[in-house]
A and B are shown apart, each in its own frame.
Chain A
């Protein structure tokens, strides 16, 4: 019938797409994915449809909700009815966005993905950072600038993804999947610079959140907005307010690392390679309890890394031999740890830092405690 089709053409020609305000009623989500409902106010109502393919609406509206709907007035020729084809909808007080977030959040929470105990610590010394963002966005430039300034030893590997628009959730999921399979990044930053809420919406997508949660390496979310938390922010191990802040959190300051390294270098410098080799030959099968004697002199209160380097030197077996201690070994090469292992007349070997000497035991005296333990502990 040409009449309804003509009416549709006339109506669509006469009305530009427009916003209509009203209360939602008789909402029905059909199995085919389309939504059917009415918009009404005090004295009028209009039938509405929101086609599943065309609508950009974060969540289903509830009956009774006050909304503003954007769409095209038209006629549905098959039924001869005037209808409003809605593509966008906003509820008062962010109702629909809030509702969509709450639904997603509840589903993730039910699966334990928001549990704070899941949060992993970031690596202290990352070498390679994966960044999922758009190739041309400010986020990548900001992250690059911060890493270059703080720790140029660290490399950045971009895993490009669309960060806004209809394809963004799938594109982000693909990128996350790729990073997970590649496995060669120490930490992941996912995000983008600030934008309108619709532009950031992909980071509230449940599929993206689940892919992020299953990422094998620690993750930082950096969705450039300070006010609202995105779902990705809740799932990531660390939330950064901006991409720059994410980069700050991801890498240490290289100058400080060099400082610490210098402390270690000072320690090892004292030990030439041949010194190590000689000591190794001299005492290759000897066993030395570092606790015996020498280590007691070490100042245990030094806590920082530089002091740790000094401690390393003091407790090393090489340093112990250097300070004049010797290792006593039996003829078969066993280290003598106790006077109880010695008999008068026994041949032993004394290992010094620069060689070994043979000796004979004149006599061996047991400590007093040994006598006591013999009396109480039976025959020895």
Chain B
């Protein structure tokens, strides 16, 4: 006899460990950065072309909506950077255990949140 199989997973009943969250966010931020490349290059082109372009870009990026988008974009970069550093430390054998991996995930997340908050202060 077939046992009744679970039809769908109840995602809300599952707990994601800190290590899983930090990992998927690293992936998500990497993909976001990929999609940001053309905008960064466009900004570089405009800012280097002429003093007027530099001024215009500055004015554009300091509008309320763009400030928010700028902050979000830089947050993806900061997060990817900090979580990437955790990867590089693990390459050297640090925090590879189950418990130490969890601790380093929480520390990494805290550092990222702090830097992102400081960024927000700098932008506004």
Decide if A and B are genuine partners: no
Q: Which B residues form the contact surface with A (CB < 8 A)?
A: none
